[in-house]
Copies of this chain bind each other. A is one copy, B any other.
Amino acid sequence: MDRGDLFIISAPSGAGKTTLCSMLLDSLDNLEFSVSHTTRSPRPHEVHGKDYFFVTEEEFERLIKEDAFLEWARVHENFYGTGRDQVLEKLSKGIDVVLDIDVQGARQVREKFPGAITIFILPPSWKVLEERLMARGSEDRERLKVRLQNALKEIEEVTNYHYTVVNDKLDLAFNQLKSIILAERQKTRRVLTSEIDLEALKPDPNSWFMA
Protein backbone atom coordinates (compact mmCIF):
# COMPACT_ATOMS: atom_id res chain seq x y z
CA MET A 1 0.00 0.00 0.00
CA ASP A 2 1.29 3.43 -0.94
CA ARG A 3 1.49 5.79 1.99
CA GLY A 4 3.07 9.21 2.16
CA ASP A 5 5.25 10.55 4.93
CA LEU A 6 4.36 13.41 7.22
CA PHE A 7 7.01 16.13 7.47
CA ILE A 8 6.84 18.74 10.21
CA ILE A 9 8.82 21.92 9.57
CA SER A 10 9.20 24.42 12.41
CA ALA A 11 11.28 27.53 12.87
CA PRO A 12 11.31 30.77 14.82
CA SER A 13 9.92 33.80 12.98
CA GLY A 14 12.62 35.26 10.77
CA ALA A 15 14.37 31.98 9.99
CA GLY A 16 13.01 31.98 6.45
CA LYS A 17 10.68 29.02 6.78
CA THR A 18 7.90 30.39 4.57
CA THR A 19 10.28 31.05 1.66
CA LEU A 20 11.97 27.67 2.00
CA CYS A 21 8.65 25.83 2.22
CA SER A 22 7.29 27.41 -0.93
CA MET A 23 10.51 26.63 -2.84
CA LEU A 24 10.10 23.04 -1.71
CA LEU A 25 6.53 22.83 -2.98
CA ASP A 26 7.57 24.26 -6.34
CA SER A 27 10.44 21.86 -6.86
CA LEU A 28 9.18 18.46 -5.72
CA ASP A 29 6.38 16.28 -7.04
CA ASN A 30 4.13 14.31 -4.76
CA LEU A 31 4.57 16.81 -1.94
CA GLU A 32 1.77 18.98 -0.65
CA PHE A 33 1.16 21.38 2.18
CA SER A 34 -1.70 21.03 4.53
CA VAL A 35 -3.52 24.33 4.58
CA SER A 36 -4.05 25.40 8.18
CA HIS A 37 -6.94 27.18 9.82
CA THR A 38 -6.22 30.46 11.57
CA THR A 39 -8.06 33.23 13.35
CA ARG A 40 -5.49 35.88 12.44
CA SER A 41 -6.22 38.49 9.77
CA PRO A 42 -5.04 37.79 6.23
CA ARG A 43 -1.90 39.66 5.15
CA PRO A 44 -1.93 41.38 1.76
CA HIS A 45 -1.94 38.77 -1.07
CA GLU A 46 -2.90 35.90 1.24
CA VAL A 47 -5.72 33.79 -0.18
CA HIS A 48 -8.37 31.95 1.83
CA GLY A 49 -8.15 28.19 1.24
CA LYS A 50 -4.66 28.48 -0.24
CA ASP A 51 -2.50 30.18 2.39
CA TYR A 52 -4.88 29.54 5.27
CA PHE A 53 -8.49 28.95 6.03
CA PHE A 54 -9.24 32.28 7.74
CA VAL A 55 -11.93 31.66 10.32
CA THR A 56 -13.45 33.51 13.26
CA GLU A 57 -12.63 32.59 16.81
CA GLU A 58 -16.14 31.14 17.18
CA GLU A 59 -15.70 28.86 14.17
CA PHE A 60 -12.30 27.79 15.40
CA GLU A 61 -13.70 26.80 18.79
CA ARG A 62 -16.48 24.79 17.16
CA LEU A 63 -13.85 22.85 15.13
CA ILE A 64 -11.88 22.12 18.30
CA LYS A 65 -15.02 20.67 19.90
CA GLU A 66 -15.62 18.54 16.81
CA ASP A 67 -12.06 17.15 17.16
CA ALA A 68 -11.38 18.32 13.62
CA PHE A 69 -7.76 19.28 14.33
CA LEU A 70 -4.67 17.12 14.34
CA GLU A 71 -3.09 19.92 16.34
CA TRP A 72 -3.99 23.43 17.25
CA ALA A 73 -2.28 26.18 19.20
CA ARG A 74 -2.48 29.76 20.25
CA VAL A 75 0.51 31.71 18.93
CA HIS A 76 0.97 35.49 19.04
CA GLU A 77 -2.60 35.90 20.33
CA ASN A 78 -4.10 33.99 17.41
CA PHE A 79 -5.26 30.40 16.91
CA TYR A 80 -3.76 28.06 14.32
CA GLY A 81 -4.86 24.50 13.58
CA THR A 82 -4.28 21.64 11.15
CA GLY A 83 -7.31 19.77 9.85
CA ARG A 84 -7.01 16.08 10.57
CA ASP A 85 -9.03 14.81 7.59
CA GLN A 86 -7.09 16.81 5.02
CA VAL A 87 -3.78 15.35 6.16
CA LEU A 88 -4.94 11.75 6.41
CA GLU A 89 -6.54 11.84 2.99
CA LYS A 90 -3.32 12.98 1.31
CA LEU A 91 -1.16 10.44 3.15
CA SER A 92 -3.44 7.57 2.18
CA LYS A 93 -2.99 8.56 -1.48
CA GLY A 94 0.78 8.26 -1.10
CA ILE A 95 1.32 12.02 -1.07
CA ASP A 96 3.94 13.43 1.31
CA VAL A 97 2.48 16.15 3.50
CA VAL A 98 4.39 19.11 4.88
CA LEU A 99 3.09 20.75 8.04
CA ASP A 100 4.45 24.24 8.50
CA ILE A 101 3.71 24.51 12.23
CA ASP A 102 5.16 25.87 15.43
CA VAL A 103 6.86 23.88 18.16
CA GLN A 104 3.71 23.42 20.24
CA GLY A 105 1.80 21.99 17.30
CA ALA A 106 4.74 19.80 16.39
CA ARG A 107 4.64 18.25 19.84
CA GLN A 108 0.96 17.36 19.46
CA VAL A 109 1.41 15.85 15.99
CA ARG A 110 4.48 13.86 17.07
CA GLU A 111 2.37 12.17 19.74
CA LYS A 112 -0.29 11.16 17.22
CA PHE A 113 2.22 10.30 14.47
CA PRO A 114 5.39 8.82 15.96
CA GLY A 115 6.56 8.30 12.36
CA ALA A 116 6.43 12.00 11.52
CA ILE A 117 9.75 13.38 10.29
CA THR A 118 10.64 16.63 12.01
CA ILE A 119 12.80 19.42 10.60
CA PHE A 120 13.84 22.62 12.35
CA ILE A 121 15.08 25.68 10.48
CA LEU A 122 17.53 27.90 12.35
CA PRO A 123 18.83 31.36 11.51
CA PRO A 124 22.65 31.48 11.35
CA SER A 125 22.70 33.66 14.50
CA TRP A 126 20.44 35.52 16.89
CA LYS A 127 21.70 38.79 15.46
CA VAL A 128 20.53 37.86 11.96
CA LEU A 129 17.14 36.78 13.32
CA GLU A 130 16.66 40.16 15.04
CA GLU A 131 17.69 42.03 11.93
CA ARG A 132 15.34 40.04 9.71
CA LEU A 133 12.38 40.58 12.03
CA MET A 134 13.06 44.31 12.33
CA ALA A 135 13.53 44.68 8.57
CA ARG A 136 10.01 43.39 8.00
CA GLY A 137 8.74 46.64 9.45
CA SER A 138 5.21 45.30 9.59
CA GLU A 139 5.19 44.85 13.35
CA ASP A 140 4.73 47.36 16.12
CA ARG A 141 7.21 47.26 18.98
CA GLU A 142 5.01 45.19 21.31
CA ARG A 143 4.34 42.53 18.67
CA LEU A 144 8.03 42.42 17.80
CA LYS A 145 8.81 41.87 21.47
CA VAL A 146 6.37 38.94 21.64
CA ARG A 147 7.88 37.45 18.47
CA LEU A 148 11.44 37.75 19.76
CA GLN A 149 10.56 36.21 23.11
CA ASN A 150 8.73 33.38 21.35
CA ALA A 151 11.65 32.85 18.97
CA LEU A 152 13.94 32.42 21.94
CA LYS A 153 11.71 29.72 23.45
CA GLU A 154 11.25 28.03 20.08
CA ILE A 155 14.96 27.75 19.34
CA GLU A 156 15.37 25.77 22.55
CA GLU A 157 13.17 23.05 21.01
CA VAL A 158 15.60 22.30 18.16
CA THR A 159 17.00 19.25 19.93
CA ASN A 160 13.59 17.53 19.70
CA TYR A 161 13.74 17.58 15.89
CA HIS A 162 15.29 14.88 13.69
CA TYR A 163 16.88 17.30 11.23
CA THR A 164 18.19 20.85 11.42
CA VAL A 165 18.79 23.22 8.51
CA VAL A 166 20.67 26.47 9.10
CA ASN A 167 19.34 29.15 6.76
CA ASP A 168 22.38 31.31 6.11
CA LYS A 169 22.58 31.06 2.29
CA LEU A 170 19.08 30.40 0.94
CA ASP A 171 20.14 28.10 -1.93
CA LEU A 172 22.27 25.93 0.30
CA ALA A 173 19.54 25.68 2.93
CA PHE A 174 17.02 24.80 0.23
CA ASN A 175 19.19 22.00 -1.15
CA GLN A 176 19.68 20.60 2.33
CA LEU A 177 15.94 20.68 2.99
CA LYS A 178 15.20 19.03 -0.35
CA SER A 179 17.76 16.29 0.34
CA ILE A 180 15.99 15.44 3.56
CA ILE A 181 12.67 14.85 1.75
CA LEU A 182 14.37 12.88 -1.05
CA ALA A 183 16.37 10.76 1.39
CA GLU A 184 13.31 9.88 3.46
CA ARG A 185 11.70 8.60 0.26
CA GLN A 186 14.56 6.08 0.02
CA LYS A 187 13.90 4.53 3.43
CA THR A 188 13.82 0.79 2.83
CA ARG A 189 10.30 0.27 4.18
CA ARG A 190 9.02 2.87 1.79
CA VAL A 191 10.92 1.69 -1.30
CA LEU A 192 9.82 -1.90 -0.73
CA THR A 193 6.16 -0.97 -0.37
CA SER A 194 5.89 1.44 -3.25
CA GLU A 195 8.85 1.83 -5.58
CA ILE A 196 9.80 -1.72 -6.49
CA ASP A 197 7.99 -4.98 -7.15
CA LEU A 198 9.66 -7.58 -4.94
CA GLU A 199 8.43 -10.39 -7.22
CA ALA A 200 10.51 -8.92 -10.05
CA LEU A 201 13.62 -9.42 -7.89
CA LYS A 202 13.15 -13.20 -7.70
CA PRO A 203 14.70 -15.47 -10.32
CA ASP A 204 12.77 -18.16 -12.14
CA PRO A 205 13.01 -21.16 -9.76
CA ASN A 206 13.95 -23.28 -12.80
CA SER A 207 16.96 -21.11 -13.77
CA TRP A 208 20.11 -23.06 -14.65
CA PHE A 209 22.12 -21.64 -11.71
CA MET A 210 19.54 -22.76 -9.14
CA ALA A 211 20.61 -26.40 -9.57
Q: Is the interface of A mostly helix, strand, loop or mixed?
A: helix
B191 contacts A164, CB within 8 Å?
yes
Docked Cα-Cα span, A192 to B124, in Å, equals 12
A to B CB contacts below 8 Å, 25 in the list? A119-B186, A122-B196, A124-B200, A125-B197, A125-B200, A125-B201, A126-B200, A126-B202, A127-B200, A149-B210, A155-B201, A159-B188, A161-B188, A162-B187, A162-B188, A163-B191, A164-B187, A164-B191, A166-B196, A178-B179, A179-B182, A179-B183, A179-B186, A180-B186, A183-B183
Say how many copies of this protein the assembly contains: 2
A144 at the interface (CB under 8 A from B): yes
Residue of B nearest to A188 (CB): B164
Docked Cα-Cα span, A144 to B203, in Å, equals 14
Docked Cα-Cα span, A161 to B201, in Å, equals 17
